[in-house]
Amino acid sequence: MTALSIVRATVRSTVQRRFNQFERFDQLMFAVAIALIMAIGGVILAGDRAGVGVTLIDPATALDSGIMSTLHSTMPLRLRFSDPMDIKSVHLTITPPIDGLISWTDAQLTLTPARALIPGQTYQVALDNGATARNGRVVKQTAHWQIQVAPLQIVYLAPAMRAHSSVPTNLWLVAPPNAPIQLTHSLYSIDDFAPSPDGTKIAFSQRDKSGKTDLYLLTVATAEVRQITRCVNAPCRAPAWNPDGTRLVYERADSTRADSDVRSWLLDLSTLQTAPLIADSQWLGKAPHWSPDGKTISLYDHNAGGIFLIDVASGQRSFLQTLEDTSGQFAPGNRQQLVYQQLIMAPQGALRQLSVADFADKAAYTIHPLTPPDGALTDDSAASWNPDGAHLIVMRRYLDDRETQYAQAYQIDVVTGEAQPIVVDPQYAHGALSWSPDGGRLLMQRYPFMQPDGQTGIWIYAAQSKTLIQVAQNGFFPQWLP
């Protein structure tokens, strides 16, 4: 064999050997790719076998099927799916039934009850299998949850009467029949507060050592408190929640002077950004309140001598003339009504008379005075709506043979003006009346003014049994924590 032949043979052998190596490498890569494809396919098939995942959501937890959940009476019910759903295929059964509005946001279903859930009631919730996602996956098994509605609780300020002036006012909570517990430990007193619509938080105004007030937020479950405004020399107070619990409207004065002008401001709780409700500084407004649909805010402007109804989206304003410096109370639900007080002159002096304004048509609202059908003169110092929207609970004092030294609790039919006595006891002065969200119990503060050592107490009137029970002593300004 010639030298050239030997070289050619060597090159050929080397190329063949390298080719065989590449072939084996390619075969190995091909096998790995096949294994990966099969693994991915296995995951997809396993996912299909598992089907669409679904959990029950509340403000604190996400719960799988079969687990008990506790909700506040005014909370919505939320289900979260692992995939966006064909909503027509989703069938939910609740026992006992809950009337309400179902809405969707991406892969989350929200049921907002039309009325408050019954405290202590257990609801059975079932999601039928077969619900289909937009990608074709399905809910393979029926999901079940038990929902227990938390008992109603009451938040109030105490002490009403102080042993000495250095004792600060703080927030207290009572869940009958348990003993009251102290929620806050302010060194310089809390002036006012407002529970959130879902009952999980409380906004309150608190003083500092200089007398300035700022707003704070308390998370009830954890007792965590955080400051949410920095008002410097402009006291902030009287917080009121919008219905979805994302914003507050509150009072902000120009300075610490008692006669300072007061304006209403908005606060976004996610960013803590705050700004005047009305940019024009000439417009004042105190005691702001949200309507239940979150579209309107009422406030009182003492310069104008009346209540303004502000459309939050457009800024459009409607005006109700009154010299009684309160902003009224909105009717529950979708009723476009506001109850407020007007002053009338009588031989006995100036008296407060209730009227209901219907502002469904803001350009031509109607006003319906709630005068007694028998023509009796009354002084109505406060009013609060029954959850049915057809009645008001009113602090009323008659100026005839029914007259008492202090106002008593009457229920008024909004259409007819007919009054039904609820709690009438001439030995007590009554105040801070409000029905529980389910309409079963009336909350109030009562002061036994004929007792020399009497204290203001927190009481509940049970509508069904028509009985009164005291749940706390030496407290005032009670509100329901739903």
Domain ranges of the chain: 54-149
Average pLDDT, the chain: 87
- Which CATH architecture describes the domain 54-149? Sandwich (2.60)
Place of tokens 């079963």: 440
Digit-by-digit pLDDT tens for the chain (482 residues) are 444 344 345 445 544 554 454 455 455 554 444 544 454 444 444 445 568 999 888 766 667 777 777 888 888 889 999 999 999 999 999 999 998 889 998 899 999 888 888 888 999 999 999 999 999 999 999 999 998 898 889 999 999 987 666 789 999 999 999 999 999 999 999 999 999 999 999 999 999 988 889 999 999 989 999 999 999 878 899 999 999 999 999 999 876 555 468 999 999 999 999 999 988 888 889 999 999 999 999 999 988 999 999 999 998 888 999 988 899 999 998 889 999 999 988 888 899 999 999 988 766 789 999 999 999 999 999 999 999 999 999 999 999 999 999 999 999 999 999 999 999 999 999 999 999 998 999 999 999 988 888 899 999 999 999 999 999 999 999 999 98
Q: Running DSSP on this structure, what letter comes out for residue 284?
A: -
DSSP string, 338-396: EEEEEEEEETTEEEEEEEEEE-SSTTS-EEEE---TT---EEEEEEEE-TTSSEEEEEE
Is cis: bond before 437, omega within 30 of 0? no
Within 8 A by CB and 6+ apart from 21, the residues are none
Residue pLDDT, tens place only, 241-272: 999 999 999 999 876 555 468 999 999 999 99
Strand partners, 201: 219
Strand partners, 461: 442, 468
Contact 354, 340 (CB under 8 A): yes
Q: How many residues does the chain have?
A: 482
Residue pLDDT, tens place only, 73-94: 888 889 999 999 999 999 999 9
Phi, psi (degrees; rounded to nearest 5) at 479: -140, 150
Within 8 A by CB and 6+ apart from 455, the residues are 160, 161, 447, 448, 473, 474
| CA–CA distance, 149 with 118 (Å, rounded to integer) | 7
